[in-house]
Structure 1
Amino acid sequence: MHRLPGLDLLRAIAIVWVMLFHSFLIGGLGDGWSWLEDNGWAGVDLFFVLSGYLIGSQWLKPLADGKAPAFGRFYLRRALRTMPAYFAVLAVYFALPSAREAPGIQPLWQFLSYTINFLIDYRHNQAFSHVWSLCVEEHFYLLFPLLAWWVARRGSVRAFVALCVLLLAGGMALRAWLWLHMGERPFVEVIYYPTWNRLDGLLAGVVLAALQAYRPELWARLQARANVALLAGLALTGAALAIFQDRAGLLASVLGYPLLSWGLALIVFAAASPACWLGRHRVPGAAWLALISYSLYLDHKLVFHAVQTWLVTYPQIHGMAAFGLYAACVLAGGALLHYTVEAPFLRLRDRLHQRDVARRTLAPTSAGA
């Protein structure tokens, strides 16, 4: 799938929003900006919708065209995309304890097995805790291709709709039960982090991908009304964020996540259309931020902590000047990780893909000879 300006813009917004949320570690932007920072956690939900749509499109389009699923290629591409930069940052966290943004950290094996979002002791081990969302993504990468292949083999729209309804309603019911029975355990451990509670955004993105792959004519007709979808998505997202003013409350836990996810899905749907205001023009810098967004996500807390430690000896740098320094260093740190670790493995992934395509193209000719 070629890069779309609207989706690049959303990815850039998502990563900036997430980093603003985590800026509480360094004091934030200051008075008057809490409305923006406090809702920054929703950037993760935007990433989930984008991931569901983009990964879903990559997997569902070949299935819709009747092609055999390529599980090995899919898993290899995902591994080369996510693991090198993750392991590099993980090495820093465990080799240099002083670099951590918080003193406590979960055991290494939980990071390596992508189980931190199930097992974390959040009160005592907050360092690198934001990779809970990467764990959710990895679980999605592992299970979605198998589940999608199973549904596609049945060739039943009813089976797909039933599965979506089951995941949506089941998630709401599960979060309600967990909320009522979580006792003194932290909200993030019981409701916010576990994969089974955070499928709404991924599901909404996959539904978009399924509509595009299996009903392309309907997709094209709806895309002509992209700006209407954008306005509806903004309204729905605003309503969800209003519910999330009590972020750990029962209503937010049960209804907030699906409402937010479908509002964001409408925005993603609109951004994928060249007819939409979001996708009509390229915003300067958005494509670059989208390009390095994964590296920014991984290492921004390390950079926050490093700059904060350095600024202790320079009290004259404070306020917006300090925040500007944080921003510049975070961008530099993300770019460094991307270009030195992430990008080489992405190039390797592309070379392997091209070699695989060439081999499959030549195979019939060789067999015929």
Structure 2
Amino acid sequence: MSDISATHMVRSLTVTDRSARTRLAYLDGWRGLSIALVLIGHFFPVPGINLGVLGVEFFFVLSGRLMAEILFIERYPLKKFFKRRFARIYPALLVFVIVAMIALSGTFIAFKWKAALTALTFTYNYAGILVTRAGALDHIWSLCVEEHAYVILALISALVSRRNRVIPLLVTLALLAMANGAISYWVFDLDYETTYWRTDVHIASILLSASICLLKADGRLPAVLMGTHVALAATVGAVVLFLDPVPTPIHYLLAVPLLALAVNVLDFNTGYLTGLLSSSPMTMLGLWSYSLYLWQQPFYKFVYEQGSNPWPMLAGAFACALCSYYVIERPAREWLNRNW
């Protein structure tokens, strides 16, 4: 997914040097784990748990942490912030939509121009519910939520200058979004997509993580939550709560807050989790994650709806993603950031 890159130089909040800026490999690896869960969940589903849905939550809580650091802690200039978001996201998205429309013409997941337009305008998560959708674009709902979160958090950072007011606001909005989801699903009996594709529900994941990040930055996160094994325990707890027998709203009422805590206290973990996340395979997956996120969907649809062999489909997704990353995503981002 396309949230703020974990490969960016972000503010380290370690005890030894809180003002240092360093590359945090385990955040790259967290993104790598996120896309790995999505790929496994789509191409090799595990009975009893939807790893694809869980992987999206891993992406969202990382996005919340990084946006909080950049917008509220570093006070990054908003004009530059949005330029860099555009440079990272839009060129690869535009090429994906155009190429997929041409390549998939006449297939069972053929594009509709209206669906493509809503993907390119970041309205697919609502239009896919209310107007029209195309199978190869269904994953764009999560990108839409993220883009809307960029705008909302940027507006809050511009309008609310004092951080002690930002945190209660973010928590309140997150709780309202979580309640909105539970009521939509349980009371109004809406299905998963009609409930959890919506920004007014799913933004809770990002806002909760941003809130915890700011509490940590202000030294207001309880010490008991910053122990060595808290991140691992919270992550395992979240995975357990995402098991199929657990009601869907509980995933978002209990499991997502655990994930939001986990990604924010990784700084204090010196065990197996950060070691795994900092490994080369995980950080490389993190580097390619946005292009993989874009390109896996059409190939996944052939596996899910046509029963195609998942291994060639996964190989095809990787081939397209690597071409996208090295030919489109990275060169376009570097050129735009340098010249715009």
TM-score normalised by structure 2 residue count: 0.80
- Counterparts of 2:323 and 2:306 in 1: how far apart (Å)? 19
Give me the whole-angstrom Cα distance separating, in 2, the residues matched to 1:308 and 1:40.
13
1:239 deviates by: 4.5
Shift of 1:73: 0.5
How far off its partner does 1:288 sit? Answer: 1.0
Q: Which runs of 5+ in 2 are unaligned?
A: 1-9, 11-21
Relative distance call for 1:192 and 1:308 in structure 2 (3 A) is: closer
1:170 offset after TM fit, Å? 1.2
The aligned counterpart of 1:366 is none
Counterpart in the other structure of 2:256: 261
Compared with structure 1, are the counterparts of its residues 193 and 310 closer, same or farther at alpha carbon in structure 2 (3 Å cutoff)?
A: closer
Correspondence for 1:73 = 80
- Do structure 1's residue 15 and structure 2's residue 35 form an aligned pair? yes
Return the alpha-carbon distance in structure 1 between the equivalents of residues 173 and 30 of structure 2. 25
- Superposed CA offset, 1:46-100 (max 9, x none): 100001111221122224xxxxx51111110000011110111111233333386
Q: Counterparts of 1:296-315 in structure 2 under 5 Å?
A: 296-304=292-300
Quote the residue 2:60 is aligned against: 48
**Which structure is larger by alpha-carbon Rg, 1 or 2?**
1
Q: Over residues 92-150 of structure 1, what are the superposed CA-to-partner deviations in whole Å (9 max), with x where a residue is unaligned?
A: 23333338662464533312221110121489643311100000011011121111232
Quote the residue 1:170 is aligned against: 176
Asked whether the equivalents of residues 135 and 298 of structure 2 are also in contact (C-alpha less than 8 Å), the reply is no
Pairs within 5 Å for 1:220-231: 225-227=227-229, 229-231=230-232
Contact 2:93–2:294 (CA<8 Å) still a contact in 1?
Answer: yes
**Is 1:206 the counterpart of 2:207 in the alignment?**
no
Are residue 97 (structure 1) and residue 138 (structure 2) matched?
Answer: no
> What is the aligned-residue RMSD (CA, Å)?
3.2
Contact kept? 1:233, 1:264, Cα under 8 Å: yes
Q: 1:44 to 1:311 in 2, by over 3 A?
A: closer
* In 1: Cα distance, 2:106 partner to 2:116 partner: 16
- Distance of 1:170 and 1:295 partners within structure 2: 32
% same residue: 24
The aligned counterpart of 2:322 is 335
Using the TM superposition, give the Cα deviation of residue 34 of structure 1 relative to its aligned residue in structure 2, in angstroms. Answer: 2.2
| Superposed displacement of residue 280, structure 1 | 3.9
After superposing the two structures, state which structure 1 stretch, 127-136 or 88-97, moved more.
Answer: 88-97
Provide the rounded CA distance (Å) in 1 between the counterparts of 2:307 and 2:200: 40
Contact 1:46/1:201 (<8 A) preserved: no
More helix by share: 1
Shift of 1:197: 0.6
Partners of 2:24 and 2:107 lie apart in 1 by 36
TM-superposed deviation, 1:343: 0.5
Q: State how far apart, in whole Å, the 1-side matches of 2:123 and 2:282 are.
A: 32
Distance apart, 1:278 and its partner CA: 2.4
- Distance in structure 2 (CA, Å) of the matches to 1:287 and 1:238: 21
Q: 2:213, 2:264 within 8 Å by CA — same for their partners in 1?
A: no
Which whole-Å CA distance do the structure 2 matches of 1:345 and 1:176 have between them?
40
In structure 2, how many angstroms separate the alpha carbons of the residues matched to 1:256 and 1:310? 29
Q: Which moves more between the two structures, 7-16 or 130-139? A: 7-16
Confirm or deny: 8 A CA contact 1:100 1:127 kept in the other structure: no
- How far the C-alpha of 1:182 sits from its partner, in A, is 4.1
Alignment match, 1:241: 242
Give the superposition deviation at 1:296.
0.2
Total equivalences in the alignment: 317
| Closer/same/farther in 2, CA of residues 169 and 96 from structure 1, 3 Å limit | same
C-alpha distance in structure 2 between counterparts of 1:238 and 1:187, whole Å: 18
